[in-house]
Amino acid sequence: MSGTDILSPFALGPLTLPNRVVMAPMTRNRAGPGNVPTAMNATYYAQRAGAGLIVSEATQVSPQGLGYPGTPGIHSAEQVEGWKLVTEAVHRAGGRMFLQLWHVGRISHPVLQPGGALPVAPSAIAPKGQAWTLEGMKDYVTPRALEAAEIASVVEDYRRGAHHARAAGFDGVEVHGANGYLIDQFLRDGSNKRTDRYGGSPLNRARFLFEVMEAVVAEWGAARVGVRLSPTNPFNDMRDSNPAATFATAVNELNRLELAYLHIVEPAPGDPVPAGEVPDIRFFRKIWGGALIANKGYDLARANAVIREGAADLVSFAALFLANPDLPERFRRGGPFNVPDRKTFYGGGAAGYTDYPALAAGQPPSFRGATR
């Protein structure tokens, strides 16, 4: 692996990626009315088409899956047309893009739900924290536990979202199984207290994930489907008594589907790991048979190291890609790098979204660029 680095090409299923730099999914809360992507969203993604692969911001598969204002959907004809603006712009710029399929589960509020209904979850356990709504911050409520007979309809929402993603011109889809949203809520025993076939053992808790993945693969084919998991991320009041055992069970079973990739949000130093090994990227390399994407605060040196070691095949970047639309080129030149403006991460207009400058042609590495 000594000759391989973040700028080396990679064959991802039927796609040939020019580099191993992945734009991570990042919620930006800038969709238009009706949660429809707009021309501004198309500009933002097209600016970053130099990525080996772009993974879109999380995109709700149904009105029930909504958890934040201004996040795009993939369940209406208008949303499909809006996403077409984006994929056409990315493809014109020479890029490749997957859509991330999302259902927030309990991380919502009745003011965001159709008819003011309760959010749904595997179990009726209220998360700590507050929901961001157009009426201001509101305490999370106790969700309604999904009936076993309802789960197939939620799986169908994911399949339908995957179908719509194809109509919108995406190159594939990534299922969002991370960061405390619905699939993750089923996976981890801190949020799943069910006693039916969707609860109890790690294999049962992973059943909803497997059913979603099978439905999406049936729509796209495995070579154009990935999944993102975050075994230890405590975001959204999440915990698991033995994340290594839980996620090894899930990933070992996912191997049979021969997916395009597994995208892992690695443990941060402060993440809780009550029992078992620390499920980092090297842990998953031992058990995952396909392409592996690493994520969590990587810079150029660390990304090259993990790829040269063979622990990961690709690395995804979030805030660094947000602030540096030409990130692969900046990696090639060794910098400089714009500094992200965290005040403009969520909501708003072009400021902090499409106005980060790219390097000028022939610009020397000594240029310091914009700082934010």
pLDDT digits (tens, 9 = 90+) for 345-365: 999 999 999 999 999 855 544
Catalytic residue numbers read: 181
Q: Show the DSSP H helices in the chain as ranges.
A: 39-47, 77-92, 151-167, 182-187, 202-205, 207-220, 243-254, 281-287, 300-309, 319-323, 327-333
DSSP secondary structure code for residue 229 in this structure: E
**Dihedral sign computed on CA atoms, order 117, 113, 126, 180:** positive
pTM for this prediction: 0.96
Angle CA 68–70–72, to nearest 5: 95
Residue 360: per-residue pLDDT = 81
In this predicted structure, the answer to whether residue 163 has a pLDDT above a threshold of 50 is yes
Q: Average pLDDT in the 214-222 region?
A: 98
Q: What's the Cα-to-Cα distance from 330 to each of 264, 333, 352, 363, rounded to whole Å?
A: 24, 5, 19, 11
Residues 13, 44, 19: CA angle, nearest 5 degrees: 35
- Six-digit token pair at 341? 């403006």
What is the C-alpha R_g of the chain? 20
In this model, does residue 342 exceed pLDDT 70?
yes
Examine the pLDDT at 164 and tell me if it is beyond 70: yes
What is the reported pLDDT for 326? Answer: 98
- What is the average pLDDT across 145-171? 98
Give every CB contact of residue 286 below 8 A, 6+ residues apart in sequence.
Answer: none
On the question of pLDDT at 367 being above 50, the answer is no
Smallest CA-to-CA distance from 60 within 52, 47, 69, 51 is with 69
Q: Where are the alpha helices (DSSP H) in 7-75?
A: 39-47
Q: What is the pLDDT of residues 26-75, one digit of tens each?
A: 999 999 999 999 999 999 999 999 999 999 999 999 999 999 999 999 99
Query: Given pLDDT bands bounded at 50, 70 and 90, which one contains residue 372?
Result: very low
Average pLDDT on 250-256 reads 98
The whole-number pLDDT of residue 369 equals 38
CB–CB of 31/70 below 8 Å? yes
Mean pLDDT confidence for 309-331: 98
Alpha carbon distance 246, 231 (integer Å): 8
- Return d(Cα 158, Cα 163) in angstroms, integer: 9
Query: What one-character-per-residue DSSP string does 301-342 give?
Result: HHHHHHHHHTS-SEEEESHHHHH-TTHHHHHHHT---PPP-G
CA 191 to chain centre: 20
The domains of the chain, with CATH numbers, are 10-327 (3.20.20.70)
- Those residues whose C-beta lies under 8 Å from the C-beta of residue 330, and which sit 6 or more positions away, are 324, 336, 337, 359
Please state the length of the chain: 372
60, 75 Cβ separation under 8 angstroms: yes
